[in-house]
Structures are given as C-alpha cells and as structure tokens.
C-alpha cells in the first residue's frame, strides 16, 4: 500500500506536527490549510528539506465543494490516499449556551463534525476494498472535552467532539471488513494557538494545575499517537478513542 496521508488543518499546531512526524515515518503528506498558505508551505518546505514528500492543498473543510476539489487534487498529484487525519477544528470559549448564536453553532458543527464526516466519506470511497482500494487508516482528532462536557462556555465544542467519538466507533465497525481502521485521539490541554483563537490565550497556563501531570501537552506528543494509529503497528486497533491528556 502506498503511504499517502491527508492531514486537514495542517499549517500549524497538532496538524503541522503530525505532518512532519508522518513524513519522517515515510508518508507522503498532504498539508491541507484554510487560509495561511505561507505557513502550510513552510511545513511542506521543512518536510522536503528532510528528504520527504509533501504538497500543500487549500480547502475549507466546512465546504463540500472544497473537500471534493481537495481530494481530486490529491488523486491527481499523489494518488489514492491511505490515511486521513481529520484534524481541522475550531473552538470558541466566549459564550454560555444562553448567549450562543446559531451562527456559532453552525460553524462549530460544519467544521468539526460535518467536515470530518465528509472527508471520511471521500477517504472511504478511495480506501475501501469495496471501491477497489487497498485499505487505510482514518484518525479523527476529538478532544477530552467530549467526556468532560466543558461547562465553561464551550458546551457546543464538547458536543461536536462527542459526535466525532460516536462517529469514530460507528464508522470503524462499518468499514472494518473493508481494510479500513478508524480511531480517534482525544487531546487534553495542548499548547497550540487554538486557545488564543478561541478567546482564552492563557488557557494552558491557567488550567495546567487541573492536569495530573501538571502541565500542558505539546503538539508533538499528540502527533506521536496519531502517527502510531496511522501505522501498520496499530493493525488490530480500530474503534478506539485514545486519550492523550496527561491523565486529565
């Protein structure tokens, strides 16, 4: 099987760390990005400088048309993918449910849930032995929020990640006999830019004391779990929700 991996939202954070680590493990990597072309190209350049293969492909995972165009570009430029990492995600920690706009809810679910499911659908159409594929691995990036509930102005995010957990288990069982493994990682408090984007720049520092390991994790530590789940070393692991949360 050719090792071609598509990682959504890979211009920074956990996605970028996963792209770099996957390339080190011999994957040809597709670095999907929403808007920051220069950052995505920076990830690609680093991988190429180390002798790896990578391309950057723009695409908004909240847009079906963008997802279809992205998969077509990958088919043409690299070939059929054998791994998908549904990493792109947004968070917003600025409103309790009684102040939450429907627009925010739609953005949360369009990006974090529907985007992941549509990408998974396109991946299954390419990986499944039913469709002439030779199998593959899908890793969904969920969150510890899915079991904590996140009653701190982002219950919608927790609900979206809960949907991802359930989708992971269901899809894993649906396609298990077609050569596709589906798993999720559930990061805890990880030091990335998502906290500033979501409205709480000091979140990792402020909440580290709640983590049994007394620190935030790094994007690289989450990437290690994702790349293992992508790899043949995880050949009998499917429908698993793996916490990478320092015990939180």
Given 143, 146, 150, 153, the residue binding ligand NAD (CB under 6 A): 143
How far is Cα 133 from Cα 234, in angstroms, rounded to an integer? Answer: 19
- Residues 42-71 interacting with ligand NAD (rule: CB under 6 A): 60-62
What DSSP designation does 244 have? E
* Identified binder of ligand NAD from the candidate list 9, 133, 136, 162, rule CB under 6 A: 9
Q: Does 77 bind ligand NAD (CB under 6 A)?
A: no
Nearest CA among 160, 150, 165, 155 for reference residue 242: 165
Smallest separation, CB 12 to ligand NAD (Å): 4
Give the helix/strand (H/E) hosting 109. helix 102-109
**Does residue 90 contact residue 103 with C-beta atoms inside 8 Å?**
no
SS3 state of residue 25: coil
**Could you tell me the smallest distance in angstroms from the CB atom of residue 236 to ligand NAD?**
25
- What are the phi and psi torsion angles at 244 (to 5°)? -125, 80
88 binds ligand NAD, rule: CB under 6 A? yes
Q: Interface residues for ligand NAD in 102-131 (CB under 6 A)?
A: 111
- Select 11 or 183, whichever has its Cβ closest to ligand NAD: 11
Residue 172 or 185 with smaller CB distance to ligand NAD: 185
CB nearer ligand NAD, residue 93 or residue 169: 93
Helix (H, G, I), strand (E, B) or coil at 208: helix
Would residue 197 be called left, alpha or beta, if left means φ above 0 and alpha means ψ between -120 and 50 degrees? alpha
Evaluate whether 120 touches 137 at the Cβ level (below 8 Å).
no
| Pick 12 or 80: Cβ nearer ligand NAD | 12
Among positions 175-194, residues that touch ligand NAD (CB under 6 A) are 187, 189-190, 192-194
Q: Which two tokens stand for residue 161?
A: 């990640």
Token pair of 181 as six digits: 């493994």
- The verdict on whether 154 is a catalytic residue reads no
141 binds ligand NAD (CB under 6 A): yes
Give the residue numbers marked as catalytic.
157
Could you list the residues that contact ligand NAD (CB under 6 A)? Answer: 8-9, 11-15, 34, 60-62, 87-91, 111, 141, 143, 187, 189-190, 192-194, 197, 219
């Amino acid at each position: 099987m050719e090792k071609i991996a598509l990682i959504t939202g890979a211009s920074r954070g956990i996605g970028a760390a996963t792209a770099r680590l996957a390339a080190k493990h011999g994957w040809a990597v597709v670095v999907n990005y929403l808007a920051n072309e220069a950052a995505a190209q920076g990830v690609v350049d680093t991988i190429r400088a180390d002798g790896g293969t990578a391309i950057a492909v723009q695409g908004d995972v909240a847009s079906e048309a963008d997802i279809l165009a992205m998969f077509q570009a990958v088919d043409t430029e690299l070939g059929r993918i054998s791994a998908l990492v549904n990493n792109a995600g947004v968070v917003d920690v600025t409103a309790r449910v009684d102040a939450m706009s429907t627009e925010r809810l739609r953005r949360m679910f369009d990006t974090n849930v529907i985007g992941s499911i549509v990408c998974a659908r396109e991946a299954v159409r390419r990986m499944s032995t039913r469709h002439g594929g030779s199998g593959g691995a899908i890793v969904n990036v969920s969150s510890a929020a899915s079991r904590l509930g996140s009653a701190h102005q982002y219950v919608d995010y927790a609900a979206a990640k809960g949907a991802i957990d359930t989708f992971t288990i269901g899809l894993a069982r649906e396609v298990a006999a077609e050569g596709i493994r589906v798993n999720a990682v559930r990061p805890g408090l990880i030091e990335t830019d998502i906290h500033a984007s979501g409205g709480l720049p000091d979140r990792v520092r402020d909440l580290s004391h709640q983590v049994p390991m007394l620190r935030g994790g790094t994007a690289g530590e989450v990437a290690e779990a994702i790349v293992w789940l992508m790899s043949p070393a995880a050949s009998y692991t499917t429908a698993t929700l793996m916490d990478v949360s320092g015990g939180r």
